[in-house]
Amino acid sequence: MRLRFGTVFAAAMAASCAAWAAGNGRPEESVECPVSANMRGHENTEWSIYYGFHLTDANRGLPRVLLVGDSICNGYQRGEAQILEGKMNVSYWVSSYCVTSPGYLKRLALCLDEAKYDVVHFNNGLHSLGTPTDDWAKGLEAALKLIREKQPSARIIWTTSTPLKDAKRTEKARALNAAAADVVKRLGNIATDDLFALLDPLDREQNWSDTYHHKSPVRKKEAEQVAASVMAR
């Protein structure tokens, strides 16, 4: 895949915020930070990466998918692009931000405005384990409505958050996925790609590289399932 356009932006907390939140950078933590108040609180470092591919070259006429997620999505997006090469153009936005974070919808809107997408494959959750479930569900609904507003002809796929090596955190991910299922049902006409169900039976010691992330064979499984969901009609 030839890169024609890329935008990478990353936000690190200011010195005062870093001092305030020192030692509390794990995704499930909720730390009140003086930079800006929000439902989840800040992680010690917040980050955001967007790449838009094949915007002007000979492949620009192919159908286009936008993958939205976090570092799990970042782990399978390359495999996804390889599977769909010559069939679909794969762009992606991955970040640490919760859907309740200030500016989340603005960042999402920037990505949605970059091109016309045929499919938007959307996830948010593992960086929201410290967010109250009801508030997170409201933020998720707002994000899905924004996708529908910005990309009215796109097929939207909600993607469940993956299980973790830690059982307690896995239960919170399961609760967020259940809340998301209610939102998706209420909004209607949104498909579901259940990566949680794909990974949950797997042995954690053999297949997880740390609490959150997965080894290469698992990332390949994820890319294959995501590709199938994106190509489904």
**In this predicted structure, what is the pLDDT of residue 36?**
52
Residue 113 lies in a domain: yes
Residue 13 lies in a domain: no
Residue 1 lies in a domain: no
CATH number for the domain that contains residue 103: 3.40.50.1110
Query: Which residues 6+ apart lie within 8 Å of 209 measured at CB?
Result: 215
**In this predicted structure, what is the pLDDT of residue 39?**
77
Residue 38 lies in a domain: no
Range of the domain at 179: 58-231
50 within 8 A of 92, measured Cβ to Cβ: yes
Residue 3 lies in a domain: no
48 within 8 A of 96, measured Cβ to Cβ: yes
How many domains does the chain fold into? 1
179-216 core/surface letters (b: 16 or more CB in 10 A; e: else): bbeebbeeeeebebbebbebbeebebeebbeeebbbee
Residue 11 lies in a domain: no
Residue 110 lies in a domain: yes
Residue 28 lies in a domain: no
Per-residue pLDDT of the chain (233 residues; tens, 9 = 90+): 333 334 443 333 333 333 333 334 445 454 554 445 567 888 889 999 999 999 999 999 999 999 999 999 999 999 999 999 999 999 999 999 999 998 999 999 999 999 999 999 999 999 999 999 999 999 999 999 999 999 999 999 999 999 999 999 999 999 999 999 999 999 999 999 999 999 999 999 999 999 999 999 999 999 999 999 999 97
